Copies of this chain bind each other. A is one copy, B any other.
Amino acid sequence: MSTAHNAGQNGSFEHRSFPDRSFRDLCAAHGIAVTHQRQVLFEVMQSIPGHPSPEEVYDRVQARIPSISLATVYKNIHLFIASGLFREVSLHHGSLRVEMNDRPHHHMVCTRCKAIYDLDEEQLGDMPQPHRLPNGFVAERYSVDVLGRCAACQDAEPSSAE
């Protein structure tokens, strides 16, 4: 099941990640307080297929809580990420990064300081060969991000999100 991120599809809870636990339990498990806005935000995010921007989420949440603030949306998205409920899709957003290396290679990205290191193809190991993919997608090449901690960030706190 592959889902186009930019196409509006079945808007239902087909992507729901935690179908059997109440939001209340989830919050307890992750040590965060239950609030109405958090619950609505969580439900709305789960109901949107793909990877909506904070603005899109904000718009949808406003339909149910007209008084909600954009800052609240951001704060809680970060809280959800920090507590492990969600993850960031791409860690190198935030500023333009340029590729000057011509050789085939991949990247190691530090989840804390966002530094990006090159990793030669052979240092990674054998990748599965591109073969039949869903939706008639034809692969040209793989780009792998190895997400983790660089030496300097090994023992530090998780990225500060409030």
Contacts and interface: CB of A to CB of B under 8 A. Distances in A.
A160 interface: no
Contact of A135 (B3, B100, B150): B150
* Total copies of the chain: 2
A154 B129 contact: no
Interface residues of A, number: 78
A128 B130 contact: no
A134 B148 contact: no
7 contacts: A17-B101, A74-B96, A108-B133, A108-B135, A119-B134, A140-B148, A142-B144
Interface of A: 1-7, 15, 17-18, 45-46, 50-55, 74, 77, 80-81, 86-90, 92-103, 107-108, 110-111, 115-120, 123-131, 133-151, 154
